[in-house]
């Protein structure tokens, strides 16, 4: 953990040195940090900033389980990662959340937050199938979605991911989303994607 902190601090100092050394030659570059410090880059592109893809409505994108882990670990605790196609409690339930065509999940992994609550990381290759199954499960706000991945976790994980760019899938018409929060139409009728994560 200490080594990670030292590496992160070193990367930050190096990045700040590189950005401050560039200068603007008096041109007053309007792009600022958005052009050179990782914003607008997809996961794994080497930008050093946030994992983001500007061509995907601003939601984070992570193509692999390793990239999802990096995204989540940068905002909350995610330790002891291991692959797990489905929860052990759901072994006999063919419609349970699991890797496979029904849910559109290509890979599913579990890690743990600081209180040892499970955090589920899912690489999703068919988001419409995923949202359809999630709606049937009636789990409003439980799934936090990027463009091509989903995360679930306990209250601490959800609180720590509140400002991450992930959006909660809400399908209950009774849930009122306060003004000022994002309300984006989901891929499934009757559902909304929102940054109102309670």
pTM of the predicted structure, to 2 decimals: 0.70
Q: What is the pLDDT of residue 12?
A: 47
pLDDT band for position 58 (cuts 50, 70, 90): confident
- Sequence-distant (6+) residues with CB within 8 A of 183 are 177, 192, 193, 194
Percent of the chain topping pLDDT 90:
58
Residue with tokens 């670990």: 73
Tens digits of residue pLDDT in 94-126: 888 999 999 999 999 999 999 999 999 999 999
- Sequence-distant (6+) residues with CB within 8 A of 33 are 19, 39, 49
- Identify the weakest region by mean pLDDT among 80-84, 95-99, 176-180: 95-99
Q: Say if CB 36 and CB 19 are below 8 A apart.
A: yes
- Identify the weakest region by mean pLDDT among 47-61, 77-91, 148-162, 164-178: 47-61
Is the pLDDT confidence value at 155 over 70?
A: yes
Is the pLDDT confidence value at 159 over 70?
A: yes
Q: What is the pLDDT of residue 57?
A: 58
């Amino acid at each position: 953990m200490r080594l990670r902190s030292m590496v992160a601090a070193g990367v930050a100092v190096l990045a700040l040195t590189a950005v401050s050394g560039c200068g603007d030659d008096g041109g007053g570059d309007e792009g600022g940090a958005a052009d050179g410090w990782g914003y607008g880059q997809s996961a794994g592109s080497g930008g050093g900033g946030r994992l983001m893809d500007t061509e995907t409505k601003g939601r984070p994108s992570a193509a692999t389980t390793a990239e999802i882990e990096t995204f989540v670990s940068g905002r909350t605790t995610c330790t002891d990662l291991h692959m797990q196609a489905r929860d052990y409690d759901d072994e006999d339930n063919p419609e349970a959340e699991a890797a496979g065509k029904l849910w559109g999940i290509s890979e599913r992994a579990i890690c743990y937050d600081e209180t040892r609550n499970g955090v589920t990381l899912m690489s999703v290759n068919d988001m419409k199938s995923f949202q359809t199954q999630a709606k049937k499960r009636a789990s409003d706000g439980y799934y936090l979605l990027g463009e091509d991945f989903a995360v679930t976790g306990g209250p601490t994980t959800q609180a720590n991911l509140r400002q991450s760019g992930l959006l909660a899938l809400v399908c209950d018409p009774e849930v009122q989303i306060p003004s000022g929060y994002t309300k984006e139409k989901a891929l499934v009728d009757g559902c909304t994607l929102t940054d109102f994560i309670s």
